[in-house]
Structure 1
Amino acid sequence: MDKYFKPLRRKDRALKDEEALEILAKSNYGVLCVYDGNYPYGVPVNYFYEDGFIYVHTAREGHKIESIRSLDKVCFTVIGSSEVVASEFSTKYESVIVFGRAEILQGEQIKPALRKLVQKYSPHCLQEAERIIQDHLRDVAVIRIKVEHVQGKANR
């Protein structure tokens, strides 16, 4: 365990890294957390995960981008599934927390990531998406997060 990342308190609920990455890959929404020097900022986002990187579509300017420019360390969280079990005063869940470093991709280097986002969320619109990607290329960016540490947890 790296000195920066604390072990899970409930070791009995810890997932192996491979299973945590599977949950990360299959989930649809995550929360990207950045720090601007004043307050932490978490924002729900669409994303995809591939080969040790998380990709998030965003505008070229804004709170996320400004925060990453000042500090590239980020946290990304997903909840793969959850179900309240009221009679047991409990919740069944699976979740993943990723720690990593973010960089901002722009211009032509973002096209492959935008195409993969379309494949994940709108696979029936691939041809139309190509036109939209080209029309808006100068207005968008992609945040690419290199996964440095992953923790998965579940109560099933």
Structure 2
Amino acid sequence: MVFREMRRKKQVLSLAENIQVLNRGTSGVLAVSGDADYPYAVPLSYVYHDNKIFFHCAKSGHKLDAIARSEKVSFCVIDKDQVVPEEYTSYFRSVIVFGKARILVDEAERRSALETLSARYSPDHEQGRLQEIEREFKAVCMIELTIEHMSGKEAIELVKAKHR
């Protein structure tokens, strides 16, 4: 699959900047092909690790049904959204990734992904997060999104500010 090139080339973020956005973010929106071919986009917490995105969910639901039907998904993280009323614009920065999602079934893979995710949100509480993982492990589903394409964009005003 060939992914579209961004029209506004001056506003494209570099790969390093895209990764910084993904590492800064704490939530994003996963988009899947939902019921009756309606797009289904759901906000969720995630972790970016080794060119993959991991997130957790319950063991059943709309998101999992959609991924079972089609592994192709997109995921968007908004890093900046500053409305500037007097300029009739917003200073924005966001990244969108396209890739394939898979439900992790191997116990070691699930545990590793869950530990990576929990360490992202509770880095200073290792003992507590390991206890929580043990308590909830059987009830948690982990999903791995392997990134095939990533693009980021920011407002032209932010581009100009970088070059000043």
- TM-score with structure 2 length normalisation? 0.88
Q: Assess if the C-alpha contact under 8 Å between 1:34 and 1:73 holds in 2.
A: yes
For the residue of structure 2 that corresponds to 1:124, the secondary structure is coil
- C-alpha displacement of 1:121: 1.1
- C-alpha displacement of 1:109: 2.2
For residues 21-67 of structure 1, the C-alpha deviation after alignment (integer angstroms, 9 at most, x for no partner) is: 22112211110111135211111110010111000111111111111
Q: Assess if the C-alpha contact under 8 Å between 1:118 and 1:125 holds in 2.
A: no
Give the whole-Å Cα distance in 1 for the aligned partners of 2:4 and 2:109. Answer: 35
Give the whole-Å Cα distance in 1 for the aligned partners of 2:85 and 2:143. Answer: 38
Give the whole-Å Cα distance in 2 for the aligned partners of 1:7 and 1:108. Answer: 37
Matched letter for residue 31 of structure 1: V
Please tell me whether residue 90 in structure 1 is matched to residue 89 in structure 2. yes
Q: Assess if the C-alpha contact under 8 Å between 2:83 and 2:90 holds in 1.
A: yes
Unmatched runs of 5 consecutive residues or more in structure 2: 159-164
Q: Which residue of 1 aligns with 2:141?
A: 141
- C-alpha displacement of 1:84: 0.8
Q: Which residue of 1 aligns with 2:162?
A: none
Q: Which residue of 1 aligns with 2:103?
A: 104
RMSD across aligned positions (CA): 1.4
Give the whole-Å Cα distance in 2 for the aligned partners of 1:125 and 1:61. Answer: 29
- C-alpha displacement of 1:13: 0.8
Matched letter for residue 102 of structure 2: E
- TM-score with structure 1 length normalisation? 0.92
- Of 60-69 and 36-45, deviating more is 36-45
Give the whole-Å Cα distance in 2 for the aligned partners of 1:67 and 1:38. Answer: 10
Q: Hey, which of these two has a bigger chunk of strand by percent? A: 1
For residues 69-90 of structure 1, the C-alpha deviation after alignment (integer angstroms, 9 at most, x for no partner) is: 1100000000112211111001
Percent sequence identity is: 37
Q: Which residue of 2 aligns with 1:53?
A: 52
Aligned pairs for 1:1-80 within 5 A: 3=2, 5-36=3-34, 37-80=36-79
For the residue of structure 1 that corresponds to 2:151, the secondary structure is strand
For the residue of structure 2 that corresponds to 1:111, the secondary structure is helix
For the residue of structure 2 that corresponds to 1:146, the secondary structure is strand
Give the whole-Å Cα distance in 2 for the aligned partners of 1:99 and 1:115. Answer: 24
Unmatched runs of 5 consecutive residues or more in structure 1: none
Paired positions, count: 154
Q: Assess if the C-alpha contact under 8 Å between 1:95 and 1:153 holds in 2.
A: yes
Matched letter for residue 87 of structure 2: E
